[in-house]
Every structure is written in structure tokens, then in C-alpha cells.
Structure 1
Amino acid sequence: MLRKSLVGPLALAAAAALLLSGCVNNEEAPATGGGGGAGISVDEASVALLPDDIKEAGKLVIGTDANYPPNEYKDPNGKVIGWEIDLIDAMAAKLGLETEYKASQFDNIIPSIVGNKLDFGLSSFTDTVEREEKVDFINYYTAGVQWASTKGTDVDPNNACGLKVAVQSTTFQDTEEVPAKSDACVAAGKEPIEKLQFEAQDAAANAVALGQADAFSADSPVTLYAIAQNDDKLQAAGETFDEAPYGLPIAKDSELTEAIVSALEALIADGTYTEILDEWGVANGGLEEITINAASKG
């Protein structure tokens, strides 16, 4: 997803190797951003909206589960990179701020926001009505669900009864999509889907590449990236479906929300937003306008 003078092809190649090696370590200490703020001019109108405590801190503390390439992941040196990282680094630069990414398990990020331990989260969160009961969402992208299967196989996401399907734990695919499909199989008198849960998305893709699972389900940019990097082992299974907004989870009625929205809209206006998405090959999900809590308003 995106890129300016950031990490470039070398990092992408390294990520491809990590995908099949399964050696990404997501338990390390906080890492600095990917560098997406380089060359970004400060937007004074957005800065004026910042809460005083954030101005004084000079940085944004952001929770992320960095194992979802190309959205957010770690390079071989443990640095957090990805198109979402570049986008938020650029947003922070518009606000004249630095970014500090704190490694966190996906399902711990929202509780940490509610507990005032993070300014907001960045981890390919699908904005849902249920999640909006705990936090607000600043919507910045739209993604669908895309399945992938082992090269040369015939897998239909709408007829996957009896198959082994890999997912990353606590994602939409794990908690809602695959269970619903499996329940429909049982209701029709067919075998349920055997859901294989993995802590990291690269491990789920690896299971399919090695033939341990019939398919995996993930967000469309993630699946298409994995296929592109491993087209000798993986292929798309069916079309993209169930498009939904990505959002930054942030505390309910946070004073920071308005400043972030303004900075993201400034990136859209000056073309940086589109440039970032284009450079990562994920422009199809780009938005023309930043919204709040799109799930409940949609």
C-alpha cells in the first residue's frame, strides 16, 4: 500500500521471504515509523485543532499488530513498515508530529485505547457497529474480503463446506465471515468448515502454500499482495466481496479526532494520499473523503 521515498522494492522482497519463512517477530519493543512523513509540509489549519497535550508530547502513540503485509509488518531489522504506516506517518507530518508504534496483539489494541494507553490504533481494523460501541473510527480506506487457495486447486468461497480454511485470529474473517459460512454449511446438512487460526497472517498464508490448508481468507490488499509475492504457490479463489471501511480506532469523542481527519483530508487534497496508495498498488480502495463511524451511518 503506498510509498514515497520509503522502503521500496528491497523491503517488499524481504517481506515476501518472511511470508513463507514465518519468522516475523511481533513481540518486540516499540518501533519507529516507516518514514512516510519525509518531505511532507505541515498543515497549520490541522495543527490548530490538536489538543494541547498532544502538541506538548510532539508525537502520536499508536498501537499496531504489525504482521499483516502489505498493510503493516516488520522488515528484517524489526522496523514497522507498510502502506498504512506510510499513510499515518504522512498524516502525523501534516500535524508536525512524530509517530511511535507500540507492538500489540490485535485484540488488545481497542482495550488499550479505552484505557488511555494509546492515542489510537492502526491495524487494518474493519469498522463495525459492534466495535463502535467501544471506540470511534476514522475511516480512511475500503477493503473487501478475498480468498486464496493453493495453486492449481478449485476453491469456491461460497461452497467451502468440509474444507480447511486458514485465518488470522481475531480478524473479521476469524470471528464473523468463516464461522457464518460454516454455520450455513451445517444448516444445509453439509460438513462444517474447519477453521485454522493463526496469530499472524503470514502463517495463515504459509499454511496454504504448504498444503496444510485448502485456502485462507483475508482482506483484499493482504491476499492480493501474498499472491503477487508467491504466484507459484498461491492463486485467487473467487472474487473480492463484502467491502467494508477500514478505520483508525480512537477514544469516543476524542479531541484528537478532528485534527486527524483534517490532516488526512489535507493529504487527499495535495495528492499525497493517492500517491502513497499508488506506490503500494492498493489505490482501488482509496476514499475521496474521510468519514467517522461509517459502519453505523452506512
Structure 2
Amino acid sequence: MASKKLMKAGLAGASFVALTALLAGCASGDAPEADVSEVAVDDAAVALLPQEIADAGTLTVGTEAYYPPYEYLDADGATVIGLDMDLIKAVGQKLGLEVQIENVAFDTLLPSLDTARYDVVVAAMTDTPERQENYDFVDYFNAGQGIVVAEGNPEGITAEADLCGKAVSVLRDSAQQGILEAFNSDICASSPIEISAQATDNDALIQVQSGRAAASVSQYPVASYNVEQAGGFELANEEPFQPEPLGMAVAKDNELSAAIQAALQSLVADGTYTDILAAHGQEGGAVEEVTINGAE
């Protein structure tokens, strides 16, 4: 007979697998998706494309598909869907390009721009002044931050300052990790947060589920989605804090940034942008003007 300790470990492992499967995709096959197949080409935006991309006829996109509602896997376990994917497919339509999407680890995305593995990274990535030193960001959405805790909120966390002195999990190399590190130099200087950086947002949630972390910090739409989809969690903060622009990342000083900006602005003008956000229940993060490197 297995020991109680081993049985408990097995049950815990099973629950972690269930959590990952639930948050990685929509098992019921009814995931929201906007139809962008009828989006018309915008000739003015096409004229801004770098010649090599126009000649290739393809836009290569890097993402990390474990961050719903922005990007995640469909019921087939392979197709990447979500708000960002609908937007970049619509951008491709505006630019007359085929969109090819590759799902890889988040912390490899920006380095892959350095080697030209991708033309653009679309992964709900926060535009920051630090990232702007090496990349350009076409800002298309505004998102604040959310704190996910275990159901019942045993640590009584309601705001950022309550994270001080506690173990907090976060996606590795994310803007949220940077936010927590900034807290440790400011509001948490006397009682630093123990930051647990994880490979995926699912892994960060597992740290909360297992009790290894008191909370996990992610973008508010992601935090809300995870709480709604998986049992055993709740949002600690009623209102998002520290809103930041999200941007599609392109290699520095690449003409592609202007083409994507023009395509996104065209989607705003014809209403497709609003339709896509509404399909995913994210109208609250809409922008009226698409900017480049708008973070301050």
C-alpha cells in the first residue's frame, strides 16, 4: 500500500495537471474567436512594409500560448487562439500577408527577434522604457495588474503593499516580475517580496495552489480569466493597479513597426478592432490611437 505521503503527492500532482490542462485551452471547443477572414487589405499600410516581408508574403509571429485570454491553445492542443491571435491575423489581412504563428517559451521571444527568427512578437507583452532600448513596441491595448490568491484569501491580501514579506509567483522575465522587483526597492524595501519566477503563468498559479506562494501577479485580464476558469482561486484586488500599454514587439528601427501601426489603426477605424476585443470580453482595454513606444 502506498504511504499517505505518496498518495497526497500523487493527488497534488493530478490537480496540477488538471489546472494546467484547464488554463492552457478550452476543452469544450467553444473558445471565443473573431472571424477576420473578410478584413480588407489596406493599401496605405501595405506600402509601408519592408520589401523583404512584402516579397515573402508571410508575417512570422512568435508567442507563448499559456496566457489566456490573449493567447492559449484550442481544444486540439496545438492551434494558438486568443485576443492577440485574432488581432495579428487581422493585421495580416490588412497587410495582405499570410500569418505564421509559433508557440515558444516566453523568455526566448525577444532574443528571437535579435536573430530574426520572427518578424514580430505578439504575446501580451508590456511596453516598457527598458525594453524600448532594444525593441520597438506597437501599442494596441492597456492592461493593469491583478493579484491571484487561494480561495478565501488566507493571507488577507487586498493591495500591492500586502505582498511585502510574502512569497509571490510570477511569469519569468515578465513586466510583472519587474514590478515586484521595483516594489522591493520601494514599498517593500524593509520587508522584500520573495519573488518566485516561473516558466509559464500556469506554473505561477501552481505555486499558489500548492501553498508555495501566497499570491501570483499577472495582467488583470489574465488574472480574471484564470479565476473564472479554475476553482480554488480568487482575485485579491477589486481594481487593477499600475496600468501599462501592451505592444507588438519588432526589431529596433524596423519599418515593419509603421506598417503594423497603420494596419492596427485601420482596424480601429473600420470597427474590426472593437469587434475582436468584444469577442473576448476585453473592451475595457481598448485604445483609440495606436502608438509606437508609448510607455513612459
Query: Counterparts of 1:264 and 1:57 in 2: how far apart (Å)?
Result: 21
Q: CA RMSD in A?
A: 2.4
1:66 corresponds to = 65
Contact 1:113-1:251 at 8 Å conserved across structures: yes
Q: CA deviation at 1:22?
A: 5.1
| Secondary structure in 1 matching 2:161 | coil
Measure, in 1, the Cα distance between the counterparts of 2:256 and 2:181.
36
Q: TM-score, normalised by structure 2?
A: 0.83
| Equivalent of 1:165 in 150, 163, 168 | 168
TM-score by length of 1: 0.83
Deviation digits for residues 210-269 of structure 1 (CA, Å, limit 9, x no counterpart): 444221100111111111213x42111123111111111112221222221111111101
The separation in 2 between residues aligned to 1:253 and 1:125, in whole angstroms, is 18
- 1:258-295 superposed Cα distances (whole Å, 9 cap, x missing partner): 22111111110111101111111111111001101112
Report the structure number with the largest CA radius of gyration.
2
Q: Which residue of 2 aligns with 1:48?
A: 47
1:139-288 matches, within 5 Å, as 139-153=139-153, 154-156=156-158, 157-174=160-177, 176-184=178-186, 187-188=189-190, 190=191, 192-230=192-230, 232-238=231-237, 239-288=239-288
Q: Partner amino acid for 1:43? A: D
> Deviation per CA, 1:177-202, whole angstroms, max 9, x where unpaired?
222334446633x4x32222221112
- Please give the secondary structure, in 1, of the residue aligned with 2:68: coil
CA distance in 1, matches of 2:120, 2:242: 25
| Separation in 1, partners of 2:188, 2:38 | 55
State the distance in 2 between where 1:106 and 1:224 align.
Answer: 20
Which residue in 2 is equivalent to 1:118?
118
Q: Distance in 2 between matches of 1:203 and 1:148?
A: 13
> What stretches of structure 2 of length at least 5 have no aligned partner?
1-15, 25-32
The letter of the residue matching 2:71 is: E
Whether 2:258 is the aligned partner of 1:289: answer no
Change (3 A) 1:286 1:185: closer
Displaced runs of 4 or more, over 4 A: 22-25, 183-186
Please report how far the alpha carbon of residue 80 of structure 1 lies from its aligned counterpart in structure 2 after TM superposition. 0.8
SS state at 1:203 partner: helix
Aligned letter for 1:172?
Answer: A
1:117, CA displacement in angstroms? 2.3
What is the distance in 2 between the residues matched to 1:134 and 1:45? 27
Cα distance in structure 1, aligned partners of 2:241 and 2:188: 22
Distance in 2 (alpha carbons) for counterparts of 1:146 and 1:24: 16
Q: Does the CA contact (< 8 Å) of 1:87 and 1:273 recur in 2?
A: yes
Q: Name the residue aligned to 2:81.
A: 81
Code of the residue aligned with 2:172 in structure 1: it is: S
SS at match of 1:126: coil
Task: Out of 131-140 and 109-118, give the one that drifted further.
Answer: 109-118
**Residues 186 and 289 of structure 1: is their aligned pair in 2 closer, same or farther, counting only changes over 3 Å?**
closer
CA contact (8 A) 2:34 2:275 kept: no
Identity %: 38
Mapped pair 1:108 → 2:108: yes
**Aligned mates of 1:18, 1:225 — CA distance in 2:** 18
Query: Which structure 1 segments of 5+ residues have no match?
Result: 1-16, 26-33
**Residue aligning to 1:127:** 127
SS at match of 1:158: helix
**AA of the residue aligned to 1:81:** I
